[in-house]
Chain A
Amino acid sequence: MLICILSVVIIAFLVPLLHRFLGNKTAFALAILPFTIFVWLLIQYLNNSASFPLKELYKWNPYFHLNLAFYLDGLSLLFSLLISGIGTLIYIYAGFYMKNAAYYSRFFMILTLFMASMLGLVLADNWLVIIVFWEMTSITSFLLIGYENEQEKARAAAWQGLLVTASGGLALLAGMVLMAIVTGEYSISGLAQYSGLLTEHNLYLPILLCVSFGAFTKSAQVPFHFWLPNAMAAPTPVSAYLHSATMVKAGIYFFARFSNSLGNTIEWQILLCTVGSLTMVTGAVMAFRSDNLKKLLAYSTISALGIMVVTFGIGTEAAIYAGIAYIIAHAFYKSSLFMLAGIIDKQTGTKLLSELPQLLYRKLPLAFVLVLTAAFSLGGIAPFFGFVGKEMLLEMTLGAPFYSMALTVVILLVGTIFVAILLILTHKAFFKKATDKKTDLQQVPKFFYLAPAVTALAGLFFGLFPDALSDLISQASISIDQELPPKHLALWHGWNLALLLSIFSIIAGVGLYYWNIKKSYELQSEFLKKFTPSAIYDKLFNGMLRLAEWQTRKIQTGYLRYYAMFTSLTILLLTGFTFLFKAGIRLNIATIDIYVFEVLLGIIVMMALGFTLITRSKIAALLSLSIVGIAISIIFLEAGAPDLAITFFLIDTLTITIFVLILHKLPKKIIAKSIFAKYRDAFISLGIGLLVTLILFSLTYHPLDSRLKAYYAENSYTLAKGKNIVNVILVDFRVLDTFGEIIVLAIAALGVFALVNFSKKKKKNRTL
């Protein structure tokens, strides 16, 4: 499995090279790649399905539990078959669609990378690896959506998709980390055995919310659905691929995967059923009202995704089977419809239903037949596979252990709207009587129709012989719940309630279509427009930008002293907060001992410091600064540190000397602070001073037990033959530190040297 993914990644990077040799035929050559994987998976399925799950493990970094673990069971098999199978068709289709594209090789390179990350996502077992692939799908889909980078709309849509799904990725990461904390398990397949522990745990709700947030964003559930219709800015092959088999199915895959570890609780059922129901109704209504063909299909995808979320929310035997069957049905008809919409767009030059030429079925008979085939599956009409899926859905809701009535009504409502959408796609698009626009049809090669024809006819074939998929669906379901009995799918279930309801929804759908045919399309109310999730996203996005801009303007002023001020304030607030609330002020009064000599020294330091602050003469400020330095040297001497005292005295003298040397080149007077600045700076600096004093009080509260001190005292003579312990530490025990110090000093000296020479040269130039 690793070889599969790796080969796709490697070939992705070879695409530009291939393009050089094969030109516009590269796509067809590339189609061999997913096809090979498809065949390999089929062979695995036919030969090895008894020994499922197949596992592969490559140790990467076992210490971090980071292993390249892959896992092929019924569920990942189903998804990877869809990814590679539909991927093959997408390549063939894109070969025609992108024929004269400006960034041909770039497009196919990213598409291939996207396919690799999708395959990795469904095949990976270790969740750290899954997160990596998840983010890879986010990034590659960002590049695919924003493919037409000259268009601002495409760029904005790409951004939106990335921000929404990447924030979901963060939530998913948090959820996975929490699960690892609870269970200590890093493989997804191993999570099922901890189901009891997870669902009983205090952290269950946060885990559930985080994981579902991630899956909801990826699968475009309300209220995160808005990125998907906007992602229509991508080229049509991408849309078809994203919607039918990849990207948005990743979230569904996660719900299927986690339903045996996190599922079957009240919280899970309520969350998934509510969000899923809301999504399927919203998506269906929005699809019904759309005029843009691609948008209509996008919203119907959202609706279908809602249906899938509900099935895994219910989680009964019938629901799991229905969910898996619906995933397949949806993949067939949605990929076909998208590709056909792209062809119609290429031929007529418009995606808008209202602008399509009249009586299109005469001009594009092949497209019409294929749309009809796929749309019948969408509408759930016998004998197409969509019908089988819909029957199973109705059986599921009728047998649901909770809210059976409500869920059935929702499914029926959505089914009704889907029938109306079927009529829009077929009747309204192809049988339009009159139009004011004359369009010349572009000719396209016949093989353009190959890819959509395959998936549309697959929908018909599996509708007639649904039992052919029984084993695959059973395998996938068993990997969710091992106790499920194998199921046999059938087109004809006999006269039962589900069939009656299905017939009812078809009649109601036809009624809805004719009732609404003259109604307008887009959302009318200006008021409501402000509160759509998309508008809220825009507001948040712009607000964030404005906040960042404001903050940058306020903090990054370009004035050095304001940077210093913000740094000091941050230190004051953060350190002060942590210190006061986490540590607290403590002062050991017993150890206070005051000597008159020391107090006098302290007073000298304070006076000298004060004079440095207030004087406006530079030389006076320097002289008083040197007094401070000398006083500190004496303090060091007094406190048993003669080495420090000598060094400090020397260095202070040197600094003051250099200062005096360059002082004559500077203006004599010091520029004063304004009154306001004086008070403000005094406030900040006194705050910091106070904080430092309090920290030192608390720090010296307990006596220090230094084992190092004893060690050096014992060993400095025996090991290093030195009697001055400080010296021994510097030149022997910690000699490497001293070496580093010398290097720093040398670099500083070089810098000083360069600065001195630089100014000399400049002066020479001036005199010349």
Chain B
Amino acid sequence: MEFLLSILTGLLFAAGVYLLLHRDFAKLVMGIVIIGNATAIFIFVAGRIVRKSAPFLDEQGVAPDTFADPVPQALILTALVIGFGIQAFALLLFKKVYDIPDIEEVDDLKK
């Protein structure tokens, strides 16, 4: 699964950067969203993947033989929540910018 996810992460990054370079505000924000997601998967893959076995303990509090590494998961959870804060803020900021007359696209910011 790491092989497949590595390729997927690369594609997500490529799409994110492509959108980040866009003149359109909406696509710019989508780029930020995608890059955030891609980074999460990057950390996830770097922490190695174990299929279908969540890091849960059984009734006696004993770990199963194989289970996914909980550390990257905890890190990503934190990152996702903070990422959401940034995305929400960026979205509203970009709506604010639209309220200014004459600004239609990213390049107009230079005015």
A interface vs B, CB < 8 Å? Answer: 557-561, 564-565, 568, 591-595, 598-599, 602, 605-606, 609, 612-613, 618, 621-622, 625, 628-629, 632, 635-636, 638-644, 647-648, 651-652, 654-655, 658-659, 662-663, 665-667, 670-671, 673, 677, 681-682, 684-686, 688-694, 696-697, 699-700, 703-704, 706, 708-709, 712-714, 716-718, 723-726, 729-730, 734, 737-738, 741, 744-745, 747-749, 751-752, 755-756, 758-759, 762
Contacts and interface: CB of A to CB of B under 8 A. Distances in A.
Contacts of B91: 655, 658-659, 662
B4 A598 contact: yes
Interface in B78-106: 78, 80-89, 91-93, 95-96, 98-99, 104-106
Nearest to B16: A685
Contact of B8 (A605, A640, A651, A706): A605
Contacts, number: 291
Contact of A641 (B15, B20, B54): B54
B18 A682 contact: yes
B54 to A, nearest CB: 5
A598 B49 CA distance: 13
Contact of B69 (A598, A651, A700, A709): A709
Contact of B96 (A642, A694, A734, A755): A755
Contact of A561 (B13, B68, B89, B106): B106
B77 A730 contact: yes
* B interface secondary structure, majority: helix
Interface of B: 1-30, 33-34, 37-38, 40-42, 44-58, 61-63, 67-71, 73-74, 76-78, 80-89, 91-93, 95-96, 98-99, 104-107, 109-110
B45 to A, nearest CB: 5
A709 to B, nearest CB: 5
A713 B13 contact: no
Given A594-B4, A598-B4, A685 B18 contact: yes
Nearest to B52: A640
Contact of B63 (A605, A713, A730): A713
B85 A723 contact: no
Contacts of A762: 99
Contacts of A671: 23-24, 104-105
Given A568-B21, A594-B4, A641-B54, A734 B46 contact: no
Contacts of A602: 4, 7-8
A738 B78 contact: yes
B19 A613 contact: yes
Contacts of A622: 30
10 contacts: A612-B15, A636-B44, A640-B52, A644-B40, A659-B26, A691-B10, A700-B6, A729-B70, A730-B78, A755-B93
> Which of B15, B41, B93 has its CB near the most chain A CB atoms (within 10 A)?
B15
A749 B82 CA distance: 11
B11 A606 contact: yes
B50 A640 contact: yes
Contacts of B48: 700, 703-704
Contacts of B18: 613, 681-682, 685
A280 B108 CA distance: 62
Contacts of B71: 706, 708-709, 712, 729
A651 B81 contact: yes
A595 B57 CA distance: 27
Given A640-B49, A671-B23, A688-B17, 19 more contacts: A594-B3, A612-B19, A621-B30, A658-B91, A659-B26, A677-B21, A684-B21, A688-B13, A694-B10, A696-B6, A700-B45, A709-B69, A713-B70, A725-B56, A726-B55, A729-B74, A730-B74, A748-B89, A759-B96
A357 B20 CA distance: 75
Nearest to A608: B15
* A interface secondary structure, majority: helix
Contacts of A640: 49-55, 67-68
A566 B37 CA distance: 22
Contact of B107 (A561, A594, A699): A561
Contact of B70 (A628, A655, A726): A726
Contact of A752 (B25, B80, B89, B99): B89
> Which of B8, B51, B62, B104 has its CB near the most chain A CB atoms (within 10 A)?
B8
A692 B9 contact: yes
B89 A595 contact: no
B8 A592 contact: no
A520 B74 CA distance: 83
Contacts of B28: 560-561
A737 B15 contact: no
Nearest to A564: B20
Contacts of B53: 640
A670 B63 CA distance: 51
A716 B58 CA distance: 12
Contacts of B99: 759, 762
Nearest to A718: B61
A747 B38 CA distance: 24
Contacts of A704: 47-48, 69
B104 A744 contact: no
Contacts of B57: 713, 716-717, 723-725
A643 B77 contact: yes
Contacts of B40: 644, 648
B15 A632 contact: no
A598 B52 CA distance: 13
B73 A641 contact: yes
Contact of B54 (A559, A642, A748): A642
B98 A665 contact: yes
Nearest to A687: B14
10 cross-chain pairs, A with B, having the tightest CB-CB distances, nearest first: A689-B14, A717-B61, A748-B85, A693-B10, A640-B68, A696-B6, A685-B17, A713-B63, A685-B18, A689-B10
B56 A723 contact: yes
Given A685-B14, A700-B48, A713-B57, A741 B78 contact: yes
A706 B78 contact: no
Contacts of A648: 37, 40, 80
A495 to B, nearest CB: 84
Given A561-B107, A639-B44, A647-B77, A714 B1 contact: no
A670 B24 contact: yes
A756 B1 contact: no
A445 to B, nearest CB: 63
B68 A689 contact: no
B47 A655 contact: no
Contacts of A749: 85, 88
A713 B57 CA distance: 8
A643 B40 CA distance: 13
